[in-house]
Amino acid sequence: QKSASSPSNIPKSYPIIGSYFAIKSNQENRVQWTTEILQSSLSATFTLHNLFGSRQIFTANPANVQHMLKTHFFNYYKGPVSRGVLFDFLGHGIFNVDGESWKYQRQVSSHEFNTKSLRKFVQTVVDTELHDRLIPMLSDAVVDKSVLDLQEILQRFAFDNVCKIAFGFDPACLLPSLPSAQFAEAFEDATDISSKRFRAFLSIAWKIKRFFNVGSEKRLHTAVTQVRDFARKIVREKKQELADKSSLESVDLLSRFLTSGHTDENFATDIVISFILAGRDTTSAALTWFFWLLHKNPEVEKEILKEIKGKSGMPVFEEVKDMVYTHAALCECMRLYPPVPLDSKTAVDDDILPDGTVVKKGTVVTYHPYAMGRMEKIWGSDWAEFKPERWLQRDEAGKWIFAGRDPYTYPVFQAGPRLCLGKEMAFLQMKRVVSGVLRQFKVVPAVEDGFQPSFVVYLTSKMKGGFPVRMEERENVD
Ligand code: HEM
């Protein structure tokens, strides 16, 4: 008989070392390993014991998730561990703070995110990047019959986009020569090495390396200094530009913060870096898996093509707004392959979760979007199948309408007061890419039969080793 809190496959815990060896041997496939335990737990929650009595609670239980992210939001914060790991890189940026500082940045940013003019700017940026860079590059690949790493291309696409939107700077990463732009590389290093700090068994190990400025910490220091210096330089230039001009020409987020009175240089630098991090590898991760899933599910691709055909020629926003089937297919893709597969909070005070799990002050509680997308209890026995129809209903006229899910059963964009600020922007960008690419090309994986890509996790998820593809010109879509 299994008890609610201790599924049969939970690793054995010993005094002092807890489940150290089991954790260590599953470090590479931590997400899949914890998913299997959650799938066999009656309440979809378990506690993992680490060295010296420290514990981490994992949950895929929607009631617990709602409790953490909404009803007891103030008891679950990013906390000192997460803040310490990311502080050198993100400073006091929105992604890395709690309390009043977070509230203030959230208010200022959500005000800007909700303006019509920002939305318009985002559309222009995405369409320019699509038509001037992505499509020509894919066309060249058709002619050359070359193999591209689509994951890398999409990352470059997303990085150009988010830099232009966040601070009006074009790093021009998506060029045929695949240039190594210093800012992009420094950003990548800073992200990767910071994420390794999270995986260190004892934080003292990276703290000692940082103190002596050696190894990975030395590289991190160099990368972070480059990122922050570069961002600060742009902030200064932008301030100057705005002081010289009476009217605002650029409508990027940084200009908006600066012209609405938020002129503190550190504030502006920190917030911009947080936005770039948030918008950088998330949409590219989702799209990489999306094109893979379309290859495996040609009937879904056919349905999307029908939708694209019906929409071509419309203005941008009208077009993507009505791409209901594509929207559902993207949601379904992120159910199986969420760009942020795990998200951790720290308990401010002792608490009890709705399923009875006892939480001690200071414990890390991790909710698990990857496991939640794979729970039979939530999605039914066909949870492993890619079925956009889960997200759709037909209206009386037989047209698809989108049927959203409770956000606490699908916290892919988090949920509650800290819901992702870029959710709408992300869907706009992803739908434009899907529509622009599929209208003209067929994406054919350049892999052997039976190939199964692996899902790996840094701060965000990736397809291990990249996604090699060939592009074929599609005929007769319009
Ligand atoms: C498919 C794409 C995306 C996914 C799945 C996603 C997911 C998430 C998640 C899970 C969080 C919560 C992280 C945490 O607090 O630990 C988050 C926060 C955030 N996201 Fe996104 N995101 C996406 C795209 C974007 C884009 C394109 C932007 C904008 C440039 C963006 C901006 C933000 C910001 C600013 C936050 C912090 C919100 C806060 O702390 O109040 N995201 N996102």
As annotated, the binding site includes 420
For ligand 1, is residue 242 a contact (CB within 6 Å)? no
Q: How far is the CA of 414 from the centre of ligand 1 (A)?
A: 8
CA distance 11 to 20: 9
Q: What is the DSSP letter of 18?
A: B
pLDDT per residue rounded down to tens, the chain (478 residues):
344 455 668 888 888 888 888 888 888 899 999 999 999 999 999 999 988 888 999 999 999 999 999 999 999 999 888 898 999 999 999 999 999 999 999 999 998 888 888 888 999 999 999 999 999 999 999 999 999 999 999 999 999 999 999 988 999 999 988 888 888 899 999 999 998 888 776 788 889 999 999 888 999 999 999 999 999 999 999 888 888 876 656 588 998 888 888 888 998 999 999 999 999 899 999 999 999 999 999 999 999 999 988 776 555 556 677 899 999 999 999 999 999 999 999 999 999 999 999 999 999 999 999 999 999 999 999 999 999 999 999 999 888 899 999 999 999 999 999 999 999 999 999 999 999 999 999 999 999 988 999 999 988 999 999 999 999 999 765 5
Q: How far is the CA of 421 from the centre of ligand 1 (A)?
A: 6
Tracing tokens 């870096």 back to the chain, one arrives at 273
For ligand 1, is residue 57 a contact (CB within 6 Å)? no
Q: Tell me the angle at which helices 282-296 and 324-336 cross, rounded to the nearest 10 degrees.
A: 100
Sequence-distant (≥ 6) Cβ neighbours of residue 269 within 8 angstroms: 91, 228, 231, 232, 235
Q: How far is the CA of 422 from the centre of ligand 1 (A)?
A: 6
CA distance 70 to 369: 16
Residue nearest ligand 1's atom 34 by CA: 421
Written as one letter, the residue type at 22 is A
For ligand 1, is residue 343 a contact (CB within 6 Å)? yes
Q: How far is the CA of 423 from the centre of ligand 1 (A)?
A: 7
For ligand 1, is residue 280 a contact (CB within 6 Å)? no
User: Which tokens hold the place of 432?
Assistant: 């434009």
As annotated, the binding site for heme includes 420
Sequence-distant (≥ 6) Cβ neighbours of residue 189 within 8 angstroms: 219, 220, 222, 223
User: Which tokens hold the place of 158?
Assistant: 């997303």
- The per-residue pLDDT for 2 is 41
Cα separations in angstroms, 171 against 89, 160, 181, 265, 290: 19, 6, 7, 21, 26
Residue nearest ligand 1's atom 9 by CA: 413
